[in-house]
Amino acid sequence: MSVLKILVYPDKKLREITVPVVEFNAQLQQQVASLFETMYDDDGCGLAANQVGLTARMFVMDTSRDKSNPICMINPEITHRSGIIMSDEGCLSFPGVYTSVERAEQITVTFQDVKGQKQELCLTELAANCVQHEMDHLNGILFIDTLSKLKKDRMLRKLAKSLGA
């Protein structure tokens, strides 16, 4: 395990679409462990593989207050969405920046775990938001993509200030 470097916008790798995982082996388990370590080290609640330069279609998350519910989703697919909610979101690839994003209030997601076993979860609130945010990453979509030009420009100025530019 090791803490990986999180890519920061405008790194082009954040726009790359990830590739489905087909081999569930020790290397994958090590990558997942490093993703968790990196996410916890940066006090995040979710981290997609492409945020650290990996091409695998997977992410890790833990939305519990005490970081006691780690979940790894490999090859995830949202099979049901209902309701709409606006939520404030941050992103480890946009340090110090938050914005309001429209998301489905409830989702059902199917995925494989680190051993390749099929799983299904019905999620609401922060967990549902986190899955949708991380799945956007896997598709090369960033949370700033939904913003108006004015809001996006304001957010990018905040990011530059946060990064000391």
Domains along the sequence of the chain with CATH: 12-160 (3.90.45.10)
**122 labelled ligand-binding:** no
DSSP code at position 56: B
133 marked ligand binding residue = yes
Residue 64 DSSP label: S
Q: Phi and psi dihedrals of 135, rounded to 5?
A: -65, -35
Q: Is 72 annotated as a binding residue?
A: no
Specify the pLDDT at position 162.
86
Rounded distance between C-alpha atoms, residue 56 and residue 50, angstroms: 7
pLDDT tens digits for range 132-153: 999 999 999 999 998 889 999 9
pLDDT in tens, 84-107: 999 999 999 999 999 999 999 999
Mark residue 51 as left, alpha or beta (left: phi above 0; alpha: psi -120 to 50; beta: remaining).
alpha
Q: How far apart are CA 136 and CA 143, in angstroms?
A: 8
The model's pTM is: 0.95
Residues carrying an active site annotation? 134
CB atoms within 10 A of CB 3: 13
Residues sharing a CB contact under 8 Å with residue 47, sequence separation 6 or more, in sequence order = 6, 35, 38, 39, 59, 60, 61, 92, 134
Query: What is the structure's pLDDT at 164?
Result: 84
Tell me how far apart the alpha carbons of residues 27 and 14 are, in angstroms, rounded to a whole number: 22
Rg of the chain (C-alpha set): 15
* Residue 33 to residue 18: CA distance in whole angstroms: 18
How much is the pLDDT for 165? 67
- Segments of the chain scoring below 70 in pLDDT: 165
DSSP lists the bridge partners of residue 120 as 110
